[in-house]
Amino acid sequence: MALQDGGAMVVFSGGQDSTTCLFWALERFDKVEAVTFDYNQRHKQEINCAREIACDLGINHTVLDMSLLHQLTSNALTRPDMAISTGGQGSLPSTFVDGRNLLFLSFAAVMAKQKGMNHIVTGVCETDFSGYPDCRDVFIKSLNVTVNLAMEYPFVIHTPLMWLNKAQTWALADRMGRLDYIQTKTLTCYEGVMGEGCGECPACKLRNNGLTQYKLGK
């Protein structure tokens, strides 16, 4: 596959989805960098994991201070005293962080422009997801128009996982020859446990159920 010009900035957390997207970008773009946001998330291991993966892959990696989010919003990902709940009856999960993807993608766009990069890659998905409104395709398309207008610059926001369920995301990782790497070296767990995680939180259940489905379907 011929690499595309323009370079790609990957919004990178060190989890399953963003790491899959990082490998996806490396297969497609001539220059790839990663940006991670420190928003006082529940577990700093997430940032350390992202650093280690970027170092392992030789990717230029930046961690930006977004602790302002911790001041603005109360949720289970920034407040360790809050219980993790899945929501229901029209309410969002307690892990939803208001404005997170809006801010992350906007700041990633600012950084990408300074580096002459036109592409932004994010692992959001509305097939297997927790109901977060800022993971929807309609939001991404809207923001893509907005950042182009705001900076008069030709950005393209890519969402390789948007229409994939977790089993299909594992299949994509396997096709790229990265399944074992993503299974063992990423951190998706809300309790901060590497690899397969705690097995009990919503993120672990989604991840592990998807892997089981993929292996059964092979």
Q: Are 24 and 121 in contact (CB under 8 A)?
A: yes
Instruction: Write down the pTM of the prediction.
Output: 0.88
Looking at the chain, the whole-number percentage of residues with pLDDT higher than 70 is: 83
91-147 tens-digit pLDDT: 555 555 667 889 899 999 999 999 999 999 999 999 866 677 888 999 999 999 999
Summarize the confidence of residues 171-190 as an average pLDDT.
96
- Residue 65's beta-bridge partner residues? 38
Considering only CA atoms, which of 89, 76, 91, 7 is closest in space to residue 42?
76
The alpha carbon of 144 is separated from its chain's Cα centroid by a whole number of angstroms, namely: 17
DSSP assignment string, 76-95: TTT-TTSPP---BTTBPPTT
Q: 38: which 2 tokens?
A: 């420190």
Query: H helices within the chain, ranges in order?
Result: 16-26, 45-57, 68-72, 100-114, 137-151, 166-175, 179-185, 202-217
CA pair distance 81, 73, nearest whole angstrom: 14
Q: Report the C-alpha dihedral over residues 21, 26, 31, 37, rounded to 10 degrees.
A: 30
142-158 tens-digit pLDDT: 999 999 999 999 999 99
